[in-house]
Amino acid sequence: MAVDHQIKIPATYVRGGTSKGVFFHLEDLPEAARQPGAVRDAILLRALGSPDPYGKQIDGMGNASSSTSKSVILARSTRPGHDVDYLFGQVSIDQPFVDWSGNCGNLSAAVGPVAIHMGLIDAARIPRNGEVTIRIWQANIGKTIVAHVPITDGQVQELGDFELDGVTFPAAEVRLEFLDPADEGEDGGAMFPTGKVVDRLEVPGIGTFDATLINAGIPTIFLNAADIGYSGRELQDDLNGDEAALARFETIRAHGALKMGLIKDLAEAATRQHTPKVAFVAPPSAYTSSSGKTVGTGDADLLVRALSMGKLHHAMMGTAAVAIGTAAAVPGTLVNLAAGGGERQSVRFGHPSGTLRVGAEAKQVNGDWQVTKALMSRSARILMEGWIRVPKSCLDAK
């Protein structure tokens, strides 16, 4: 057996929102990994510890959940009006696959702070105290994100008193604006790809359901919880041990992706695990969150549960929160109706870990709905910096 050695690559391990990921500066990657391809994917898979048939990612930086099996590549932007290019890779836990089809809204909160940390933002732009506005080009979907990063004593302010349900410790608030979030880049298409705010989604062998199919933040399939046998109060343990239920959701997701025009054949859904998402909604109702905190009926406008990479998410994906806020702003969607209907510019929804508020500015133009921006607050903190070590044989991937 030929002896393999390890190479080391500068990396930063970061929490952004309710996710964690390994961040790389594009120029720090081996030359063969500075462009898309097998070498880049091999390095990211090995760094996170995938594929792992045990589902634990013991031999890598991943933490065995969709929220923590993530990678980011940053570069100084050459695009006019932007500061940093942000590329996100969702790393499969048990398959040799990196999904580049969408964004991570949670890690979006960390892009500005980490870009400053990596020296991608000119030092002259960083105030002694105050806030720096960083314009981010989200390369997966071709969209602009504006991050407002707090600065204290010339450094990114990471600690503070902003509390985010799903994150144990308070931190500093990072305000995010997702500009024109409704067109998913290369997939194109309108905010509502079928032209309807509510469709009938036929899923052979399972049923036919009302569904809101939306491209905003991330392509998302919204269902009514009651229509699929749920209350909207579910926590992870209520679903993630039920393989039959998860298989039904995956079938629904595949048929929704087909109806949205994201795939041409149902089999393609297996190679597009990150998008679309499936979420189910319900009117507000009291429940106990995963931390043991009671969420009262009056604490939220509606309840939402969402699946990511085949499992019920422990809180809410940031991009799905954008989809929730956008759909809530459009009268007649399932999200809007679950929240009580009518016109609204923000919504607070209950998720397994607590609640979250997200805003959106929507308007109708020539009969079509458009959203100019979605807004929400997150936080971010650098957990560790140094080098990732991976086998040198990753550079030979084909």
Asked if 255 and 303 sit in the same domain, the reply is: yes
pLDDT digits (tens, 9 = 90+) for 276-317: 999 999 999 999 999 999 999 999 999 999 999 999 999 999
The pLDDT score that the predictor gives to residue 367 is 78
The SS3 assignment for 236 reads: helix
Identified catalytic residue from 61, 104, 376, 394: 104
65-82 average pLDDT score: 97
Residue 354's domain is classified under what CATH number? 3.10.310.10
Which residues, listed in sequence order, are joined to residue 174 by a DSSP beta bridge? 378
Q: Mean pLDDT for the chain?
A: 95
User: Do residue 354 and residue 385 come from a single domain?
Assistant: no
Distance CA 140, CA 68 (A): 19
Question: In this model, does residue 189 exceed pLDDT 90?
Answer: no
CA distance 217 to 215: 7
pLDDT interval class at 180 (50, 70, 90): very high
85 close to 75: Cβ distance less than 8 angstroms: yes
For the stretch 2-58, pLDDT in tens is 789 999 999 999 999 999 999 999 999 999 999 999 999 999 999 999 999 999 999
| CA angle (135, 141, 146) in 5-degree steps | 20
Is 165 within the bounds of a domain?
yes
Q: Are residues 130 and 212 in the same domain?
A: no
| Predicted confidence (pLDDT) at residue 188 exceeds the cutoff of 80 | no
Does the residue 179 lie in any domain?
A: no
Same domain, 154 and 209: no
In a domain, 387, yes or no: yes
Amino acid letter, residue 348: R
Q: What tokens were used for 315?
A: 């809180």
Q: Residue 169: inside a domain, yes or no?
A: yes
Select from 88, 97, 94, 116 the least CA-distant residue to 19.
Answer: 88
Largest CA distance in the chain: 67
Q: Is 328 left (phi over 0), alpha (psi -120 to 50) or beta?
A: alpha
User: Judging by DSSP bridges, how do beta strands 302-308 and 346-351 pair with one another?
Assistant: parallel
pLDDT in tens, 198-221: 999 999 999 999 999 999 999 999
246 and 163 assigned to the same domain: no
Residue range of the domain that includes 88: 6-173+380-396
Query: At 365, is the pLDDT very low, low, confident or very high (cuts 50, 70, 90)?
Result: confident
Q: Are residues 386 and 341 in the same domain?
A: no
Task: Kindly report the length of the chain.
Answer: 398
Q: Does the residue 178 lie in any domain?
A: no
Q: Kindly tell me if the per-residue pLDDT of 1 is higher than 70.
A: no
Mean pLDDT of 54-67: 97
In a domain, 350, yes or no: yes
pLDDT of residue 186 exceeding 50, the answer is no
**Into how many domains does the chain fold?**
2
Same domain? For 386 and 369 the reply is no
What the block records as the tokens of 351 is 């998720």
- Residue 169 sits in the same domain as residue 255: no
Q: How far is CA 221 from CA 48, 55, 81, 164, 210, in A?
A: 28, 26, 33, 25, 10
Q: Are residues 139 and 197 in the same domain?
A: no
Query: Is 104 considered catalytic here?
Result: yes
Q: Does residue 266 share a domain with residue 389?
A: no
Amino acid letter for position 185? G
- The answer to whether 108 touches 320, Cβ cutoff 8 Å, is no
pLDDT band at 271 (very low <50, low <70, confident <90, very high): confident
The three-class DSSP label of residue 328 is helix
The reply to whether 181 falls in a domain is no
The values of phi and psi at residue 367, to 5°, are 85, -10
| 180 is a domain residue | no
Cα gap 265→308, rounded to integer Å: 21
| Least confident range of 65-69, 72-76, 364-368 | 364-368
Supply the Cα-derived Rg of the chain in whole angstroms: 20
Q: Residue 362 carries which side chain, given as an amino acid letter?
A: A
Residues 283 and 334 both lie in one domain: yes
Residues 210 and 151 both lie in one domain: no
Query: Over 90: is that where the pLDDT of 363 sits?
Result: no
- Catalytic residue, candidates 309, 317, 376, 394: 317
